[in-house]
Amino acid sequence: MYCRNCGKEIPDKANFCKYCGTPVDKRKNRQPVSSADPVDQGGYDRAVNERSVSGSSNSRLIVVTVILALTVLIALVVISWHFRLGPFATGRNEMTSASSPKEKTLDKDDKKSDAGKASSEESDRSKMESIDKDRDKEGNDAKDEEDDESPYFSIESSTVEDYSNVLSLPDYTSYISEADSSFSFLYPMDLYDDVDYSDRAGTTTDILRDFDHKNKECIRFTGSEGSRLLYQLAVIRGDGSTDQMASALENSMKENTAISSPYTLLKKTKGDKAYVVVTGEKKDGTIRYLVCTGDVSDGKLMLMELDTPPSEDDADKKHKSYYTEVLYRGLSFGYSDASIRSYDDYLGR
């Protein structure tokens, strides 16, 4: 056998190395040490150290493994919480319902911002509504002013149409235009229930449909049973003789006024003026009576349109016939110079 300390061969029965005195362990030194892998003086300690290091390495490996496992677990927990997975799904919802102070502050700021925007939009809407109201008020005020500037007519909205109320001269009143004193007429105070006045340039009537004209004044009276009375002062443009004007007026009065079988009662010229009177019946039985006077010197045109419903009896027919005569003789622009007579004189009593 060999000494475990110095490596020299000693007898198998020796208890101590005769070279170095090291006690002999007979159980572990029965095989010779290979010369290819000699054992130096610190071989045993190195082996012990290697085993110690190996054990230490194993312990470190275990610790590192545990740490890695814990890291992975924590990462999975975080990921699960972030994406609402696993058992944190409900918890996540509960957690998100209770916002952090910072989130609450942001939400509060967002709400304030939204409220500010809504308030601003509401303010803008209020301003626009206020502007619209002001415009409407201005428009109404302008209309009221326009209405205030309109002439006054003695017409009651409660008036019931009855031609027996136009048989006395006190039943009429006169209108004289402030724009042109040559334009005047009579109208009854107790026959029509509505009157419309317009001095807008674009206002037109059937007779003026084919003329290039500008309205000065247009007054329409209407009754509850379909009666209508219209007066108009306008200026027409164009060159021509009085005869040509008379013919143009006659044609327009016959063709544009819805009379089925028009009949010319009067077509005269006097100086620069043309006088035309046309009458006839409409399809519904209404009698239409038209009077028109044109002046070629200044293009001035004055007209009257009268609609009376079909007569109920002979007395009603006489009332309407007398009424038409009074209106015609009361015109400042009519051809006749005859004065207005009473109803009894009209009947020849």
**pLDDT per position as a tens digit, 235-264:** 998 888 999 999 999 999 999 889 999 999
Residue 68 confidence class, pLDDT cut points 50, 70, 90: confident
Beta bridge partners of 301: 234, 294
Helix then strand then coil, in percent of the chain rounded to 5, is 40, 20, 40
Name the domain count of the chain: 2
Residue 321 has phi, psi (to 5 degrees) of -70, -45
Q: Which amino acid is at 182?
A: S
Are 232 and 215 spatial neighbours (Cβ–Cβ below 8 Å)?
Answer: yes
Last residue of a domain, one of 90, 121, 149: 149
Domain identity same for 113 and 242: no
In a domain, 60, yes or no: no
In a domain, 69, yes or no: no
Q: Is the pLDDT of residue 118 over 80?
A: no
State the CATH number of the domain containing residue 201: 3.40.1000.10
Beta bridge partners of 295: 273
In a domain, 188, yes or no: yes
Domain identity same for 342 and 292: yes
Give residue 280's region: left, alpha or beta (phi > 0; psi -120 to 50). left
How is residue 315 written in tokens?
Answer: 């007395």
Q: Is the pLDDT of residue 38 over 50?
A: no
Largest CA distance in the chain: 191
In a domain, 177, yes or no: yes
Last residue of a domain, one of 149, 184, 219: 149
Domain identity same for 269 and 334: yes
State the pLDDT at residue 146.
46
Cα torsion 292, 296, 299, 303 to 10°: value is -10
Domain identity same for 180 and 139: no
Sign of CA pseudo-dihedral 322, 326, 329, 332: negative
In a domain, 11, yes or no: no
Closest among 229, 251, 198, 196 to 303, alpha carbons compared: 229
In a domain, 137, yes or no: yes
> Of the ranges 8-22, 140-154, 171-185, which one carries the lowest mean pLDDT score?
140-154
Q: Is the pLDDT of residue 84 over 90?
A: no
Average pLDDT, the chain: 79
Domain identity same for 209 and 311: yes
Residue ranges making up the domain that contains 248: 163-347
Domain identity same for 143 and 245: no
State the pLDDT at residue 150.
80
β-strands 184-188, 194-198 pairing: unpaired
State the pLDDT at residue 95.
34
Sheet hosting strand 300-308, strand order edge to edge: 194-198, 213-222, 228-236, 300-308, 287-295, 273-281, 263-270
Domain identity same for 138 and 168: no
Domain identity same for 317 and 177: yes
In a domain, 252, yes or no: yes
In a domain, 117, yes or no: yes
Closest among 307, 214, 326, 219 to 257, alpha carbons compared: 307
Reduced to 3 states, what is the DSSP secondary structure of residue 128?
helix
Report, as an integer, the average pLDDT of 301-320: 95
Domain identity same for 133 and 243: no
Residue 209 has phi, psi (to 5 degrees) of -60, -40
Report, as an integer, the average pLDDT of 282-298: 95
Domain identity same for 255 and 333: yes
Last residue of a domain, one of 149, 180, 207: 149
Domain identity same for 145 and 167: no
Domain identity same for 134 and 274: no
